[in-house]
């Protein structure tokens, strides 16, 4: 009888551990979906307005901007606590295969993140942990790499930081990806692709509106935006977990796993 009890106990522990590993670190159905009015300013000082539509789908988000008189731009995003990171292609650039988004929590020299490729809504995000210098520059070893569809990978990542913008390149066993990242507080949101770094937008919720920035990648444009929910647009940011400080984007943000 005792061996059977022990066997049952250890089996239960394994099942619990498997559930924890598979648990998503981002959730789409949490009041973030809806329509937002954009109040933006580019790095050249030009002001603009527009609208952003956000729609939660499974573990991820679809996003669609219309800034000023420009063409619509569509993106794919993940949420890690208060920060929404969205990968997208600028309206005047051709779509590259392999678009995806990663969001890391920064803890000294450890980056602990979640990721999904574009269009994958029904799977829990992959999990990636990097270890390197605390200044987001140099070579980082992948100490944990788990795919959303199962299986593991290894390799290293090169980071090059200029202010809050970070160039990223992943060097895996048989693949190389490149990305554009924005640092908000203790979170780094990165858009990645196969041959060309996509644009990245990252917004932090303070329970009333979203505040953040966008960057079209190395040698590209950048800007800052405030997003205010439009009445009747169904976004209910007050339903999100409330920040512990007045400005969660400039304080450590805990991961959801």
Residue 69: per-residue pLDDT: 80
Residue 187's Cβ-side half-sphere holds a number of Cα atoms within 13 Å equal to 29
For residues 150 and 22, what is the distance between their CA atoms, to the nearest angstrom? 10
Q: What is the pLDDT of residues 36-77, one digit of tens each?
A: 999 999 998 999 999 999 999 999 999 999 988 877 899 999
CB neighbours (10 Å) of residue 49? 12
Task: Provide the 3-class DSSP secondary structure of residue 233.
Answer: coil
CB neighbours (10 Å) of residue 97? 10
Residue 30: per-residue pLDDT: 52
Report the DSSP beta bridge partners of residue 225: 40, 212
Closest residue by Cα to residue 87 from 172, 178, 207, 206: 178
Angle (CA) 72-74-79 rounded to 5° is 135
Closest residue by Cα to residue 102 from 54, 155, 52, 157: 157
Of residues 155 and 11, more confidence is placed in: 155
Percent of the chain with pLDDT over 70: 75
Q: What is the DSSP string of 162-218?
A: ETTEEEEEEEESS-EEEEEEEEETTEEEEEEESSS--EEEEEEE-SS-EEEEEE--T
Residue 20: per-residue pLDDT: 33
For residues 76 and 125, what is the distance between their CA atoms, to the nearest angstrom? 13
Indicate whether 90 pLDDT > 90. Answer: no
Lowest mean pLDDT segment, chosen from 32-41, 53-62, 123-132, 247-256:
247-256
Residue 174: per-residue pLDDT: 87
Indicate whether 193 pLDDT > 70. Answer: yes
Average pLDDT over residues 18-32: 43
Q: Per the structure block, which two tokens stand in for 256?
A: 């959801």
131: CB partners within 8 A, 6+ apart: 109, 110, 111, 140, 141, 143
Residue 106: per-residue pLDDT: 93
Closest residue by Cα to residue 200 from 63, 53, 9, 72: 63
Indicate whether 110 pLDDT > 90. Answer: yes
Highest mean pLDDT: which range of 91-100, 124-133, 190-199, 207-216: 124-133
**Residue 73 per-residue DSSP state:** E
């Amino acid at each position: 009888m005792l061996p059977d009890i022990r066997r049952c106990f250890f089996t239960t522990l394994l099942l619990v551990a498997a559930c924890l590993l598979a648990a998503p670190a981002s959730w789409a159905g949490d009041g973030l979906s809806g329509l937002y009015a954009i109040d933006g300013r580019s790095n050249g000082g030009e002001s603009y307005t527009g609208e952003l539509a956000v729609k939660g789908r499974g573990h991820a988000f679809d996003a669609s901007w219309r800034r000023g008189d420009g063409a619509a731009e569509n993106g794919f995003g993940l949420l890690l606590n208060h920060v929404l990171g969205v990968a997208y292609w600028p309206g005047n650039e051709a779509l590259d295969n392999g678009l995806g988004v990663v969001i890391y929590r920064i803890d000294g020299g450890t980056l602990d993140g979640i990721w999904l490729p574009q269009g994958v809504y029904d799977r829990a995000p992959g999990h990636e942990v990097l270890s390197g210098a605390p200044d987001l520059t140099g070579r980082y070893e992948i100490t944990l790499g788990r795919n959303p569809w199962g299986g593991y990978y290894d390799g290293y990542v090169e980071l090059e930081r200029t202010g809050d913008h970070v160039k990223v390149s992943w060097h895996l066993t048989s693949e190389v990806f490149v990305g554009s990242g924005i640092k908000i507080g203790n979170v780094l949101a990165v858009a990645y692709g196969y041959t060309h770094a996509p644009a990245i937008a990252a917004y932090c919720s303070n329970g009333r509106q979203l505040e953040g920035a966008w960057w079209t990648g190395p040698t590209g444009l950048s800007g800052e935006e405030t997003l205010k929910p439009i009445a009747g647009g169904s976004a209910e940011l007050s339903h999100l977990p409330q920040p512990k400080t007045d400005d969660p984007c400039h304080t450590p943000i805990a991961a959801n796993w």
